[in-house]
Amino acid sequence: MTESGNHGGSSYEETDSLALFIGLNNDISDYSLSTHNIIYQVDIAPTLALLFGVPIPKNNVGVLIAEIFGYLADDQQLKALELNSWQLLRLLQAQMPGLSCRNYLCDDFSDDQESKITKCSGSMGKMFCCLYTNAALLQNSWMSKEFSRSKSREDYSSAVTAYYEFLRTASEWLSRSATDKPVSLLTLGIAAMLLSCLILLSLLFNMCKEVYIREKYLFDLESAMQTWYLDETFVLGVILILIVSMISSSMVEEEQYIWHFVASTLNLLLLRKAIQCPPCGGAQGLHTLSKEQNKISCFRLSSIFVVLVSGRILRGWHQGGVNWTNLPDISKWLEQSGTDNVKSIQLVSCLLLMTLSLYVLFLLGSNKKFVLVIGFSFLMSGLLVLQHVTKHWEVAAFYFLGMAGHFALGNSNSLATIDVAGAFIGISSHSTVLSGILMFMITYASPMLFILSMVMYISVKETSYLPSPFSADSTQLLKIMLGFPCLVPLGLNSILLTAYTIILLLMRNHLFVWSVFSPKYIYVCTTTVCVYVGVSVVSTTVTYTYLVLGFRRKMQGELSHQQ
């Protein structure tokens, strides 16, 4: 830790720690002569492996710690160095497919082996083979002196020195090649992502200007700008909070609290808007409000309270993240209560869901058959939110609520929370593709549900500012209906994806880059796939619907013209 109490970085204070080895054959007097040598973390694995007599991990690039093997005989120490050298030579051959040291070792060892020791230079491959060959020749030279080994300490030291020269050179090169980042390619990729993000945001900005110009004839422009200031400022504030939180590894591990906070704040904003705004057409005046309209207004307020309570239940459903997973939550209580109680709760929940859904639809439409069909098809969450989404920014609300539900279902930024078992339910034989699709659907069920619910949002989108929706140009109508539902999720995701890519590049030397930041980036990329799939389904569905309606209008026009 640093002197200020920070941890997890790459500074010397945060990466320096004590390694203490105590051997049975060490004498107490040896400790007074011990020196404070610096070893690397990767050196611990080959040291422990050789001490326990097990193979070195095949991708380890460490060098065994010399002081630990001081109690072994000379030939055993050289054997340990030889095993460590074989390990690194195999990794070098994997990194350099054309590397082969057989030409250096093909000649039979002769008595005059020391004359074969050369000064190593040239390309990296030749230098590695030369260093390894020198060490092997010196070891064989010492081993050949069977009766005078104890007296030839100089030959033994030369072999040890040669092995360590090869090991340190190879380890340093392998470590550097494994952690090297193609910064130029990464910079080019980030530049392309920034360009894509700017294009999406510019399209979204132009769409906002066009919509405000179209709506200014029905709404006061000053009040419209005030609405933009409240709603869009909230969206921009959420984006800023998310970007800043990505810098902290602890906030990445506990991201669910950010989304719960966003969802709760969003519901409070909906409550404020429902209190301030009349339930329908403000241009008619307050004196024209009927009893039925007052009932709808009261229902809006009460339904938002229901959403607030539901959000609190979702927050307590799973103790996600890393630090508080051991605390009790609703899911653990349901698991402990037994399957019978869980089935009873599911039955009551389904009945309550259908009842409330039908009640909402009865208030919205008069066609009873339509109410019965739709009421059993959609979930309560989409219907409740549907009552209050009247402006283009709650498109952003769909995104926020979807991510809040994603974490409420027990997901996190750790790969350990992925429901792998659920991906194999209902599959008769193993299929990587089908299991992957099921795993994706289970993990991103909540964001996908909210993105697809934009089809419902589009179906009740306010188009009163158009002269006649049915007589309007179909291309212009598609642009108006699909502009925000497609551009807002793509724009939000593009900002987060680009920002986290830059943060990951800056954090590439962080201590938690593999355990925290890299898994988070996998989730960010997969969320991008989810957004693109959802937007594609929404755009395809709406486009198909309007093409069919346009074809029907055309056919009706031709029939009426013939008559």
- Predicted local confidence at residue 522, as pLDDT: 92
Dist. CA 276–CA 284, nearest whole Å: 16
Whether 531 and 489 have beta carbons less than 8 Å apart is answered as: yes
- Predicted local confidence at residue 103, as pLDDT: 58
For residue 211, give the nearest of 339, 405, 392 by alpha carbon: 392
Give the side-chain half-sphere CA count within 13 A for 523.
24
Whether 534 and 489 have beta carbons less than 8 Å apart is answered as: yes
Dist. CA 533–CA 495, nearest whole Å: 18
Angle, CA 253 vertex, CA 524 and CA 59 arms, to 5°:
75
Q: What is the pLDDT of residues 281-305, one digit of tens each?
A: 444 444 455 666 666 667 677 777 7
- Predicted local confidence at residue 212, as pLDDT: 59
For residue 232, give the nearest of 254, 208, 200 by alpha carbon: 208
Regions of the chain where pLDDT drops below 70? 8-10, 23-36, 102-118, 146-152, 210-229, 277-297, 299, 321-322, 346-347, 350-351, 353-393, 459-477, 480, 563
Dist. CA 270–CA 395, nearest whole Å: 13
Q: In a 10 Å sphere around its CB, with 0-12 CB exposed, 13-18 middle and 19+ buried, how is residue 488 labelled?
A: buried
- Report the amino acid identity of residue 238: V
- Predicted local confidence at residue 165, as pLDDT: 92
Residue 25: both structure tokens together: 């054959």
For residue 411, give the nearest of 379, 439, 387 by alpha carbon: 439
Dist. CA 298–CA 279, nearest whole Å: 9
Residue 215: both structure tokens together: 């709506």
- Predicted local confidence at residue 34, as pLDDT: 57
For residue 350, give the nearest of 371, 318, 379 by alpha carbon: 379
**Given phi > 0 = left and psi -120 to 50 = alpha, else beta, which region is 5?**
left
Dist. CA 356–CA 382, nearest whole Å: 12
Q: In a 10 Å sphere around its CB, with 0-12 CB exposed, 13-18 middle and 19+ buried, how is residue 259 labelled?
A: buried
Q: What is the pLDDT of residues 84-140, one digit of tens each?
A: 999 999 999 888 887 877 655 544 444 455 556 667 777 788 888 888 888 888 888
Q: Which helix (H) or strand (E) holds 52?
A: helix 44-52
Q: What is the pLDDT of residues 90-99, one digit of tens each?
A: 999 888 887 8
Whether 123 and 103 have beta carbons less than 8 Å apart is answered as: no
Q: What is the DSSP letter of 516?
A: I
Residues in the chain: 563
Residue 311: both structure tokens together: 């959000």
> What secondary structure does DSSP assign to 17-42, as a single string?
-------TT--GGGGGG-------GG
For residue 478, give the nearest of 543, 538, 536 by alpha carbon: 543
Q: How far is CA 270 from CA 281, 327, 385, 386, 408, in A?
A: 18, 31, 9, 11, 21
For residue 235, give the nearest of 212, 215, 208 by alpha carbon: 208
- Report the amino acid identity of residue 43: D
Domain positions in the chain: 12-23+38-107+116-178, 183-277+295-465+474-561
Q: What is the DSSP letter of 509?
A: T
